[in-house]
Amino acid sequence: MSRTILFAEVAGFYAAVERADDPSLAARPVIVGGDPRKRGRVQAATTDALRAGVSVDMPMIEALQRCPGARSVRTNMRRYREVSRQLLTTLRRVHPHLEAFGLAGVYAEFAPSAAAVEAIATEMHSTVREALDLPLRVGLASGKFLARLAAQELAEEGVYRIPNGAEHRFLAPLDVTRLDGVGRKTSAALAEAGARSIGDVVALGRARLEEMFGAHGLRIYACASGHDREPVRAARHPGSVSREATVRAEPTDLTALLEQLAGLAQQLEGELRRQGLAAGRVALKVRYTDQGAETRSRTLAVAVDRAPDLLGTAEQLLRRTQVGARPVRRLGLQLSALIPAGTIDRQLTLFPVDS
């Protein structure tokens, strides 16, 4: 049965976040990566930098030579993870059943008769731009691989659809390196067999590709022929949310540690509220200055979504660790067994369970 797969992503995510955070970069190419003086490499770039010859994993110093007007920005993973969470939350407000792909992409699956797919794609694009000031490109096709290729037809934002029945016409002229799992060695082997385009790969046939690459060859053929049936593993919400912090105060002061836990609980309450969730399990992770670590967790009788409740459980867990006797370097709280907040009055278990 035919289906429609939606793939949405923020292209050059790290660079797009830097540009959204700093309006002065709006009209300037942005390259994100390591320190050029220490052989750092490019991790992301805006479209204008890519058009100037910059590519991911290129040495930063070479990238700046190819695009001398670009702004070089050091990688800030903490910020990118924060925006990634905001992005997923924003997209789920438009359509709740999504499979996350990396930090900046999602998949969704629709029945072939779902006439609203393009409207949902357009709403995703406009909502992300309005809420986060990020560009979103959305691809629509009959498979996950094809939907990703469709999105890549757009430089930064918009909606592009590969109609059902047009898969072969779209794929045939593309270079073999556009196929999933075809890197330098595999493309060299395909070229030796006379296949330089995806159309050539299909012409080799399923049996020949299996002979050449085994099970990997079957996956290559499925993608090349437009018959990718990989399912979308959608979830209404993430399986867990967490926050961590490095201890700034005296590492054996229980009162100071509890104050930091209170800050983490407050952050997690905000995350739960944004996503409309409550947590049925709380886990505390303690990292000590001697590199050791402990984890304590509790399954709650009733799911909670308020900071005081989270902190109360975290404090009980903290008192079951070696804090006070061993200096603490880092604290973390993770919430799991997440459910929609509207069902928090539901009994989860008869008694709390600790571990």
- Percent of residues, the chain, with pLDDT higher than 70: 95
CATH number of 1-164: 3.30.70.270
CA distance 138 to 128: 12
Give residue 240's pLDDT.
87
The count of other CB atoms within 10 Å of the CB of residue 352 is 15
Q: Stretch 34-43: mean pLDDT, rounded?
A: 91
Q: What's the pLDDT at 343?
A: 59
Q: Which CATH architecture has domain 168-224?
A: Orthogonal Bundle (1.10)
Smallest Cα–Cα separation from 276: which of 90, 8, 9, 6?
90
Predicted local confidence at residue 275, as pLDDT: 76
How many Cβ atoms sit within 10 Å of the Cβ of residue 39? 10
Give the residue extent of every domain in the chain: 1-164, 168-224, 240-354
pLDDT of residue 340: 79
pLDDT at 331 over 90: yes
Query: CA-CA distance, 352 to 302, in Å (whole number)?
Result: 9
> What's the mean per-residue pLDDT of the chain?
90
Band the pLDDT of 355: cuts 50, 70, 90.
low
Mean pLDDT over residues 27-53, rounded? 94
Interval 182-187 mean pLDDT? 92
Min mean pLDDT across 4-18, 225-239, 323-337 is at 225-239
For residue 341, what pLDDT is reported? 74
Q: What is the pLDDT of residue 39?
A: 87
- pLDDT, one tens digit per residue, over 95-118 is 988 998 999 999 999 986 566 899
pLDDT of residue 112: 65
* Residue 59 confidence (pLDDT) above 90: yes
What pLDDT does residue 217 have?
A: 94
- Amino acid found at 132: L
Q: Does the pLDDT of residue 351 top 60, yes or no?
A: no
Confidence of residue 273 (pLDDT cuts 50, 70, 90): confident
Quick check: helix, strand or coil at residue 64? Answer: helix
Read off the pLDDT of each residue in 142-149 and give the average, rounded to a whole number: 95
Which CATH superfamily hosts domain 240-354? DNA polymerase, Y-family, little finger domain (3.30.1490.100)
Return the structure tokens found at 60. 């930063």
For the beta sheet containing 4-9, the strands, ordered from the edge strand earlier in sequence to the opposite edge, are: 99-101, 105-110, 4-9, 137-141, 158-161
Percentage of the chain lying above the pLDDT 90 cut:
70
pLDDT tens column, 227-268: 988 999 887 777 888 999 888 777 778 888 899 999 999 999
Confidence of residue 344 (pLDDT cuts 50, 70, 90): low
Q: Which residue from 150, 134, 43 is spatially nearest to 54, judged by alpha carbons?
A: 43
Question: Of 159 and 228, which is predicted with more confidence?
Answer: 159
For residues 214 and 219, give the distance between their C-alpha atoms in angstroms, rounded to a whole number: 9
pLDDT in tens, 17-26: 999 999 999 9
d(CA 278, CA 107): 24
- Please report the sign of the dihedral spanned by the C-alpha atoms of residue 204, residue 206, residue 212, residue 218: positive
Given a contact cutoff of 8 angstroms between Cβ atoms, the answer to whether 46 and 29 are in contact is yes
- Distance CA(155)–CA(137), nearest Å, equals 8
